[in-house]
């Protein structure tokens, strides 16, 4: 099976001169967690919900905070774009996603964005039905915190790779 068989289209994109609030509203409207930043159909970067959340983190003094909503996407987008070819295998796509700890990548052919492949696209496919592994073999322990922990601490845990954080109240 190829990436082109599972990729999502159309790709919701924004321009480098658009604002973070515009990208966030696109994400909310289309129920997606990433926006490709493109110019004339060519991908320049990407911004995700996590990127926006990390930038909102209140670890710096108040005088350093600027209104992120008005920041241009060209200033905050990730330009180190991992991408896939439409004729890549799903196995190669999964290896890319897992090795770079990302949940989606644009599908690009000859510089043009054709689609996007996310872990959700793969999980919704019939490939999952073929998995015959007990859940216990693939599950991991979630990180436990208390209500006294700060949101900055939670962001740090996610940055370090925590996939789930459970708040436990004594």
Topology adopted by domain 3-132: CBS-domain (3.10.580)
> 70 or 20, which is more confident?
20
> 53 or 16, which is more confident?
16
Check pLDDT > 80 for residue 10: yes
For residue 51, name the pLDDT band (cuts at 50, 70, 90): confident
Of all residues in the chain, what percent carry a pLDDT higher than 70? 91
| pLDDT value at residue 86 | 95
Three-state SS for the chain is CEHHHHCECCCCEECCCCEHHHHHHHHHHHCCCEEEEEECCEEEEEEEHHHHHHHCCCCCCHHHCCCHHHCEHHHHCECCCCCECCCCEHHHHHHHHHHCCCCEEEEEECCEEEEEEEHHHHHCCCCHHHCCCCHHHHCCCCEEECCCCCHHHHHHHHHCCCCCEEECCC
**Can you give the residue ranges of every domain in the chain?**
3-132, 133-170
Q: Indicate the average pLDDT of the chain.
A: 85
Check pLDDT > 70 for residue 73: yes
| pLDDT value at residue 142 | 80
């Amino acid at each position: 099976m190829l990436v082109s068989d599972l990729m999502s289209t159309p790709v919701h994109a924004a321009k480098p001169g658009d604002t973070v609030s515009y990208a966030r509203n696109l994400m909310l409207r289309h129920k997606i967690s990433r926006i490709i930043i493109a110019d004339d159909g060519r991908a320049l970067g990407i911004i995700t919900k996590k990127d926006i959340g990390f930038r909102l983190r209140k670890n710096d003094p108040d005088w350093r905070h600027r209104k992120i909503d008005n920041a241009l996407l060209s200033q905050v987008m990730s330009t180190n774009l991992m991408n896939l070819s439409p004729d890549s295998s799903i196995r190669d796509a999964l290896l890319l996603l897992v090795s770079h700890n990302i949940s989606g990548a644009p599908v690009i052919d000859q510089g043009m964005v054709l689609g996007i492949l996310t872990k959700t696209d793969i999980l919704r496919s019939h490939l999952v039905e073929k998995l015959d592994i007990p859940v216990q073999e693939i599950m991991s322990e979630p990180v436990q915190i208390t209500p006294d922990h700060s949101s900055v601490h939670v962001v740090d845990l996610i940055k370090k790779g925590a996939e789930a954080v459970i708040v436990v109240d004594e």
